[in-house]
Amino acid sequence: MQNIYDITLEELENYFINNNDKKFKASQVFDWVYKKRINNFDDMRNVSKVTINKLKDDFYFKKLEIIAKKEDKDVAKYLFKLDDNEKVEAVLMYHDYGNSICISTQVGCNMGCKFCESGRLKKVRNLEVYEMVLQILMVEEDIGKRITHVVLMGIGEPFDNYDNVIRFIDIINSGKGIAIGSRHITLSTCGIVPKIKEFTNYDKQVNLAISLHAPNNEIRDSIMNINKVYKIEDIISAIKDYIVHTNRRVTFEYIMLKGVNDTIECALELSKLLKGLNCYVNLIPYNETSHIEYKKSDSDAIMEFYDVLKKNNICVTIRREFGSKVNAACGQLRSHYEEV
Ligand code: SAH
């Protein structure tokens, strides 16, 4: 038995073909599930009883449980309980251009970034495809509005759950599924180089963001364990290749940590590192968390850093601070919940 939210359109087409049935029925099922949003097979009015009974033998409908929600004016954070009682979170943000959701891809995370709450929680398991799909569907149901943008920046490392993440993107991007345009989907990775290479050949125009957070190996080694395996030069070389192949612009995320990576020298070094690359840098004011001693850079330091990059012709933005009131930084809501 498989959760109905766990299968891609192509897989469902093959399912029907293998059952000596018609391929187009997969589109009909997707239409009921993702467009009409029914919750059981009997509601599929244009599907024959025989097919419905067969579907009931092989698939089931089951959603996730929302066990906590914290809201501020333009942001809401959801905590979900999974079938095995594990918990993950998603963050909804209202923008002038639409509604975006930041979803989790794993229960916990093994990447061990020193500044990140999720790293403290350690990976328990990968999320199944349906558990990622349902984060979107449940939030849409809760707010009664459509999500227009999806970022894979919640708990977990998407490239450590590569196959499920790709199948998840196939479902949400399918015109017959949730139909979120590929340019409205952004995957963020801490820099697992072999997977960046694999992703280079993925045929969808999904945005790629790299959590760089440092201009050199010395600083990056001190804050991100993954840098002991894949060095900055390996990442940059994989990204150069990615840009040549896909012709797409890459985002580098850079958390501003007071006294760690926020000096003028760091800004100069970063400018040199990224010179000539089709990229932009997103400076992220660090969202402080009670368990971790890193502090957010002063706003003056962030502005100076920004100016240096600008002067050196690097495209740069400062991320709007959304989530500090709702513990929106990666892993924070789950972690707080576990303490109460
Ligand atoms: N593992 C992936 C995606 C999840 S983390 C990655 O590393 O990119 C999503 C982003 O949030 C990353 O850039 C991460 O470094 C950042 N992040 C983690 N904790 C944060 C915090 N307390 N404040 C601001 N950003 C944080």
Do 49 and 133 belong together in one domain? no
Do 15 and 77 belong together in one domain? no
Q: Residue with the nearest Cα to atom 7 of ligand 1?
A: 190
pLDDT of 118 reads 77
Do 38 and 137 belong together in one domain? no
Do 41 and 70 belong together in one domain? no
The answer to whether the CB of 274 falls within 8 A of the CB of 215 is no
Do 44 and 142 belong together in one domain? no
Any ligand 1 atom below 6 A from CB of 188: yes
pLDDT digits (tens, 9 = 90+) for 238-272: 999 999 999 999 999 999 999 999 999 999 999 99
Any ligand 1 atom below 6 A from CB of 189: yes
Q: Is the model's pLDDT at 105 over the cut of 60?
A: yes
pLDDT digits (tens, 9 = 90+) for 138-164: 999 999 999 999 999 999 999 999 999
What CA–CA distances, in Å, run from 23 to 15, 30, 36, 60, 271?
A: 8, 12, 20, 20, 52
pLDDT of 323 reads 56
Least reliable range by pLDDT among 7-16, 81-90, 320-329: 320-329
How many Cα neighbours within 13 Å face the side chain of 229? 10
Give me the active site residues, please: 89, 330
Torsion, Cα 161 184 145 332, to 10 degrees, reads: 50
Q: 286 C-alpha to center of ligand 1: Å?
A: 9
**Of 211, 254, 287, best ligand 1 pocket probe by most atoms within 8 Å of the beta carbon:** 211
Distance CA 82, CA 232 (A): 36
Do 35 and 83 belong together in one domain? no
Which residues, in sequence order, are CB contacts of 93 under 8 Å at separation 6+?
A: 74, 75, 99, 100, 101, 102, 322
Do 123 and 40 belong together in one domain? no
Least reliable range by pLDDT among 35-49, 100-114, 318-332: 318-332
Instruction: Kindly tell me the burial class for residue 258, based on how many C-beta atoms sit within 10 Å of its own C-beta (0-12, 13-18, 19 or more).
Output: middle
Do 40 and 87 belong together in one domain? no
- Please identify, among 58, 85, 100, the residue that sits at the C-terminal boundary of a domain: 58
Atom of ligand 1 nearest to the CA of 154: 4
How many Å from the N-terminal Cα to the C-terminal Cα in the chain? 35
Q: Which pTM value belongs to this model?
A: 0.94
pLDDT of 340 reads 32
Q: Is the model's pLDDT at 165 over the cut of 90?
A: yes
CATH of residue 246 = 3.20.20.70
Q: 164 C-alpha to center of ligand 1: Å?
A: 20
Torsion, Cα 185 187 188 192, to 10 degrees, reads: -170
pLDDT band at 320 (very low <50, low <70, confident <90, very high): confident
Distance CA 237, CA 246 (A): 14
- Please identify, among 30, 58, 86, the residue that sits at the C-terminal boundary of a domain: 58
Any ligand 1 atom below 6 A from CB of 93: no
Q: How many domains does the chain have?
A: 2
Any ligand 1 atom below 6 A from CB of 330: yes
User: What integer is the mean pLDDT of 190-209?
Assistant: 96
pLDDT of 333 reads 54
Please, what's the largest Cα pairwise distance for the chain? 69
How many Cα neighbours within 13 Å face the side chain of 175? 0
- 98 dihedral zone (left: phi>0; alpha: psi -120 to 50; beta): left
Q: Residue with the nearest Cα to atom 15 of ligand 1?
A: 211
The chain-wide mean pLDDT, for the chain, equals: 93
pLDDT of 292 reads 87
Do 123 and 209 belong together in one domain? yes
Any ligand 1 atom below 6 A from CB of 13: no
pLDDT of 48 reads 94
Q: 251 C-alpha to center of ligand 1: Å?
A: 13
Any ligand 1 atom below 6 A from CB of 208: no
Q: Is the model's pLDDT at 337 over the cut of 70?
A: no
Distance CA 153, CA 156 (A): 8
- Please identify, among 36, 58, 80, the residue that sits at the C-terminal boundary of a domain: 58
User: What integer is the mean pLDDT of 51-61?
Assistant: 97
Do 51 and 105 belong together in one domain? no
Do 98 and 49 belong together in one domain? no
Q: Is the model's pLDDT at 334 over the cut of 70?
A: no
Do 155 and 228 belong together in one domain? yes
CATH of residue 30 = 1.10.150.530
Q: Is the model's pLDDT at 336 over the cut of 60?
A: no
pLDDT of 73 reads 84
Which domain, by its residues, includes 16? 2-58
Q: Residue with the nearest Cα to atom 10 of ligand 1?
A: 153
